[in-house]
């Protein structure tokens, strides 16, 4: 049997998170943290260590209504085994099936079929043992299955040693004029001409490359997907599953289509939905045509020609995988179980690129979708994913994984008009729907609600909310929000209005929608003045002109809605998003079902991701043997600046705005593969069940070989490594330079590298804090310039912090002193404040095996103990098992005489900890549930330790309490212990810089 690193993989609990929390103590504390239910193998340690290790810690109360245990529902179960695309051998009689670099995955070989059967047999055993009936089985991009599970079944599977993880099936959502000209693809010297042009569909730009689009389906009859004599692509093994639509047809352009609905379910689908790959929503058709739609297609909206459109790789092939569905409640989404099934099929079908314009996790590298993409990338499939549309708030970016390319959205064209009011006021905004040359009366929508409608509904111009008599012949002023923007102009038209002014109530994007009547969309900065004019004049008038005199608009700029970093993953040591591309007012193919249009404008990172997917196809056409990481690097290092400094913030745009005119010849690349990703995951605290890392070379995330460098916790000095590879085809000398990063000194060694074609060199980059504000990011660029004219630029983001200290230090019960190693990030005086040390109330207890059931407060098998908390105290509850090798204990706290869980620690370990500062005063009950105990001893024995501290108890004395420190110079704080040498004690040391707390370390004795 093959034993892959995932086979005994377990992620550390919140002890790892607590360590990070100390390093970033200047940031607000997390609102909620609880260990998630997960696989529960027995630990391998046979005795407690002499120096107690810190178990996982729950650091805050659970959110209201949050449950720490499994509930009945659909889950995605990920097995421990390698999927077929990543299998490197090890099962007796079955040879490896992982493709060599630059080769396509071959799923139809005898070895692949044998190994697939092996995986299914293991999946079936696990499912049968739990009484589960899978609705999906996955073998190609990840090994596992999806199934409806009771709470008990989910718990049982989570304990199965053959299972990696059990994750609830989540509902995700899509992340919702001609960009080829703006990107330099067109023209006699454009990128397309370098790759065969657009006239010959057999040898044109993108030819031979297959782009898989996971979305809401596709319109096969659309001219953007017409077969113009294209050949069938080599290596394609997919099919055209037409479902219930007998008219659906594939071709050599649209080479395949499938649909996946078991996770979302067919009950409650919208009446207009089609159980087939047919796109009724429009989102999937738009993204597919943006990536690979035919060149030279005339786009017409409401009978008006809007221009000629093309996808980024017009000669590439498209494969559609419908995973997103509309429901009859006006919503919809994309189930993660359907998504993983689609990825599984896409890699088996033979796609080269995947576009994923769908939301996702913001921090979990072990999310099933992210894992499937990791294996896909390892098999040579490039993945472009949307960053999300929840900007400009920080730390909102999705898809944190380094093996895929996360894309931000930028503007790329100026489509403006001007509102001219009767008093001579001029307001420039986005306008794409004709003009109103003759002045007409103006009216505020909230001033003319229809009978039965309120002013709030009217202000938003909801359908039917406007009084027809008052709106007739008028320019109606509406607020953005709640309902679709184009629906607002339709509501104005239905009420008899002749034009609309759309106002942003808060800062936001300006979108060149194809409205049904003349419309100008204005920023919130114009809102007060426009409304004041209309409300303050007896006969206000307005007109919408097609000119934009006085406009200061520049492109490209990052859209306000585009999600920003810093990423919530890796403690700020990975930069996301990676790059930006056009994502505002993108004109492309659409579906006529909902809006009646075969073309439409759309905005979102959903629109920017397929730009990158299509552009990746162009690179893959030129460089067939490049890895997805190399393709990503080529795009990032050749990206260009946006128009303003705000958009050049790496947390907004990553490396910058994609520049196709340079990415085919980047000079050098930063390459990476699965072994690097294992090293990265090991550095993130992903371990085997016995606590050893999944890689013998765990690395800091900052050391992953990416075309960007981020350090979220620079304390004094840190050196990171990179490997650069010459892909210029000629002997080349590269010289390094650094721009920006004010207050941080940077040294690159060596700063001059001579490389033969295809050769690589390791370089180090040392960062030293030198006056940059503590707790704030400094940004800049590292650039390699070659003697042949290449310029490869990488974004830098470094945050100096005031201190680094361990989250927890434990010493034996009879210790007389304790040491805390500290690295300061400032020069001055390091102060200390002690809370505790206080002796614990220790109770010997036992609990019967609960058999894997869900936690129930009144279960008589559980051990219970009452707890009284006084306000303002540091409270810590510990479980110490008598049999840590065989027991798995879970710790819960409820309000006394209640069943709602307010705190929990539910890791796979026998020992658990809950530690909360300023616990709300009240009466509580502690519950201990035993999951697994030896058959010969069905009752688990353990100690319950409770500590409550609200001041310095005098039992830990740090001498001196203040020490002079310098940046990056380690110091060791030594404290004498005045305990009874028999009772466990607990406390905390806070570190200060003379004016504020900058870090803290928990101290356990015994």
**283 counts as catalytic:** yes
Give the distance from CA 895 to its chain's centroid: 35
List of E strands, 349-473: 353-356, 382-386, 405-410, 416-421, 426-430, 436-444
Is there a contact between 361 and 400 (Cβ–Cβ < 8 Å)?
yes
- Whole-angstrom Cα distance, residue 979 to residue 817? 10
Contacts of 936 (CB under 8 A, 6+ apart): none
- Whole-angstrom Cα distance, residue 444 to residue 472? 13
**603 counts as catalytic:** no
C-alpha to C-alpha distances, 787 to 236, 614, 668, 784, nearest whole angstrom: 41, 30, 12, 10
Is there a contact between 291 and 318 (Cβ–Cβ < 8 Å)?
yes
- Whole-angstrom Cα distance, residue 595 to residue 593? 6
Kindly calculate the radius of gyration of the chain based on its CA atoms and give it in whole angstroms: 30
Burial class (CB in 10 A: 0-12, 13-18, 19+), 148: middle
For 744-778, b/e burial (b = at least 16 CB within 10 A) is bebebeeeebebeeeebeebebebbbeebebeebb
Please pick, among 4, 222, 283, 399, the residue that the annotation labels catalytic. 283
Q: In what order do the strands lie in the sheet with 57-58?
A: 57-58, 912-919, 873-881, 939-949, 841-848
- Whole-angstrom Cα distance, residue 580 to residue 397? 13
Looking up tokens 């990791």 gives 374
Give the distance from CA 568 to its chain's centroid: 8
Please pick, among 81, 155, 169, 215, the residue that the annotation labels catalytic. 215
- Whole-angstrom Cα distance, residue 46 to residue 677? 31
Contacts of 79 (CB under 8 A, 6+ apart): 119, 122, 123, 126, 143, 144, 162, 163, 164
- Whole-angstrom Cα distance, residue 588 to residue 283? 10
| Nearest C-alpha neighbor of 37 from the set 156, 170, 172 | 156
Looking up tokens 């099933």 gives 368
Where helices occur in 95-227 by DSSP H, the ranges are 110-130, 151-159, 179-182, 191-194
C-alpha to C-alpha distances, 679 to 551, 690, 705, nearest whole angstrom: 50, 17, 11
Beta bridge partners of 791: 785
- Whole-angstrom Cα distance, residue 634 to residue 621? 14
Please pick, among 207, 606, 653, 1004, the residue that the annotation labels catalytic. 606
Q: DSSP secondary structure string, 243-276?
A: TT-TT----SSEEEEEE--TTT-STTB-TT--SS
**What six digits make up the tokens of 208?**
């031979």
Angle at alpha carbon of residue 226, lines to 222 and 230, rounded to 5°: 160
**241 counts as catalytic:** no
Residues with active-site annotation: 215, 283, 606
């Amino acid at each position: 049997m093959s034993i892959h690193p995932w086979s005994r993989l377990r992620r550390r609990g919140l002890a790892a998170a607590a360590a990070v929390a100390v390093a970033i103590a200047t940031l607000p504390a997390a609102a909620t943290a609880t260990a998630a239910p997960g696989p529960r193998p027995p630990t391998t340690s046979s005795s407690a260590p002499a120096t107690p290790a810190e178990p996982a810690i729950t650091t805050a109360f659970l959110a209201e209504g949050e449950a720490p245990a499994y509930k009945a529902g659909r889950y995605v179960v990920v097995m421990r085994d390698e999927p077929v695309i990543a299998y490197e051998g090890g099962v007796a009689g079955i040879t490896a099936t992982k493709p060599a670099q630059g080769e396509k995955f071959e799923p139809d070989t005898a070895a692949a079929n044998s190994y697939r059967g092996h995986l299914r047999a293991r999946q079936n055993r696990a499912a049968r043992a739990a009484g589960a009936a899978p609705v999906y089985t996955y073998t190609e991009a990840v090994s596992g299955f999806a199934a409806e599970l009771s709470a008990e079944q989910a718990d049982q599977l989570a304990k199965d040693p053959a299972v990696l993880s059990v994750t609830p099936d989540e509902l995700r959502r899509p992340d919702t004029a001609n960009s080829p000209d703006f990107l330099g693809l067109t023209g006699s010297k454009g990128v397309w001409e370098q790759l065969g042009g657009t006239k010959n569909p057999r040898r044109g730009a993108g030819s031979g490359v297959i782009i898989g689009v996971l979305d809401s389906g596709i319109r096969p009859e659309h001219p953007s997907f017409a077969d113009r004599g294209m050949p069938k692509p080599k290596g394609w093994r997919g099919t055209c599953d037409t479902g219930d639509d007998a008219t659906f047809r594939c071709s050599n352009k649209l080479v395949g289509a499938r649909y996946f609905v078991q996770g979302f379910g067919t009950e409650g689908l919208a009446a207009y939905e089609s159980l087939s790959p047919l796109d009724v929503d429009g989102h999937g058709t738009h993204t597919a045509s943006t990536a690979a739609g035919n060149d030279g297609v005339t786009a017409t909206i409401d009978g008006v020609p809007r221009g000629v459109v093309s996808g980024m790789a017009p000669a590439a092939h498209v494969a559609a995988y419908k995973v997103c569905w509309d429901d009859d409640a006006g919503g919809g989404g994309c189930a993660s179980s359907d998504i993983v099934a689609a990825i599984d099929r896409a890699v088996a079908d033979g796609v080269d690129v995947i576009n994923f314009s769908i939301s996702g996790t913001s921090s979990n590298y072990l999310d099933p979708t992210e894992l499937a993409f990791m294996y896909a990338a390892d098999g040579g499939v490039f993945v472009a994913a949307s960053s999300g549309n929840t900007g400009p708030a920080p730390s909102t970016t999705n898809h944190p994984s380094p093996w895929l390319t996360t894309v931000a959205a930028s503007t790329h064209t100026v489509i403006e008009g001007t509102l001219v009011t009767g008093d001579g006021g001029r307001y420039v905004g986005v306008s794409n729907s004709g003009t109103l040359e003759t002045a007409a009366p103006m009216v505020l929508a909230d001033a003319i609600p229809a009978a039965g409608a309120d002013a709030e509904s009217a202000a938003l111009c909801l359908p039917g909310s406007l009084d027809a008599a008052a709106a007739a012949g008028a320019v109606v002023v509406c607020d953005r929000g709640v309902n679709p923007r184009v629906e607002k102009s339709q509501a104005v038209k239905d009420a008899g209005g002749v034009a609309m002014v759309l106002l942003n109530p808060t800062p936001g994007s300006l979108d060149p929608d194809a409205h049904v009547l003349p419309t100008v969309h204005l920023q919130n900065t114009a809102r007060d003045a426009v409304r004041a004019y209309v409300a303050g004049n007896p006969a206000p008038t307005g007109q919408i002109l097609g000119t934009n005199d006085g406009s200061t608009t520049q492109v490209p700029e990052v859209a306000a809605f585009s999600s920003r970093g810093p990423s919530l993953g890796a403690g700020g040591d990975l930069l996301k998003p990676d790059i930006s591309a056009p994502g505002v007012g993108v004109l492309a193919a659409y579906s006529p079902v909902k809006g009646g249009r075969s073309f439409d404008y759309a905005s979102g990172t959903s629109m920017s991701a397929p730009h990158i997917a299509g552009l990746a196809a162009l690179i893959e056409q030129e460089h067939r043997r490049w890895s997805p990481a190399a393709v990503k690097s080529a795009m990032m290092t050749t990206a260009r600046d946006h128009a303003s400094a705000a958009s050049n913030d790496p947390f907004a745009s990553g490396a910058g705005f994609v520049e196709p005119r340079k990415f085919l010849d980047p000079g050098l690349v930063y390459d990476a593969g699965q072994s690097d990703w294992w090293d990265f995951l090991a550095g993130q605290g992903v371990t085997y069940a016995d606590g050893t890392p999944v890689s013998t070379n765990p690395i800091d995330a900052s050391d992953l070989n990416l075309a960007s460098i981020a350090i979220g916790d620079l304390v004094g000095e840190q050196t990171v490594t990179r490997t650069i590879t010459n892909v210029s085809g000629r002997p080349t000398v590269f010289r390094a330079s650094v721009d920006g990063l004010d207050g941080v000194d940077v040294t690159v060694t060596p700063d001059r590298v001579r490389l033969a074609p295809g050769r690589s060199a390791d370089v180090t980059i040392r960062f030293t804090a030198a006056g940059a504000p503590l707790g704030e990011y400094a940004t800049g660029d590292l650039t390699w310039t070659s003697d042949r004219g290449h310029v490869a630029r990488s974004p830098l983001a470094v945050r100096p912090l005031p201190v680094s200290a361990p989250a927890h230090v434990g010493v034996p019960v009879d210790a007389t002193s304790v040491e805390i190693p500290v690295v300061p990030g400032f020069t001055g005086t390091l102060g200390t404040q002690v809370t505790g040390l206080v002796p614990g109330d220790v109770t010997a207890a036992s609990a019967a095996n609960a058999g894997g059931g869900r936690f129930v407060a009144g279960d008589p098998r559980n051990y219970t103990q009452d707890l009284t908390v006084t306000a303002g105290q540091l409270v810590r509850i510990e479980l110490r098992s008598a049999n840590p090798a065989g027991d798995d204990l879970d710790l819960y706290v409820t309000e006394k005489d209640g069943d709602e869980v307010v705190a929990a620690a539910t890791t796979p370990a026998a020992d658990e900890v809950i530690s909360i500062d300023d616990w709300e005063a009240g009466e509580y009950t502690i519950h201990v549930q035993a999951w697994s105990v030896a058959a010969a001893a069905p009752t688990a024995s353990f100690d319950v330790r409770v500590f409550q501290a609200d001041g310095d108890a005098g039992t830990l004395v740090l001498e001196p309490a203040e020490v002079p420190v310098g940046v990056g110079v380690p110091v060791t704080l030594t404290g004498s212990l005045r305990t009874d040498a028999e009772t466990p004690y607990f406390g905390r040391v806070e570190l200060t810089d003379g004016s504020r707390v900058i870090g803290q370390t928990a101290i356990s004795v015994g």
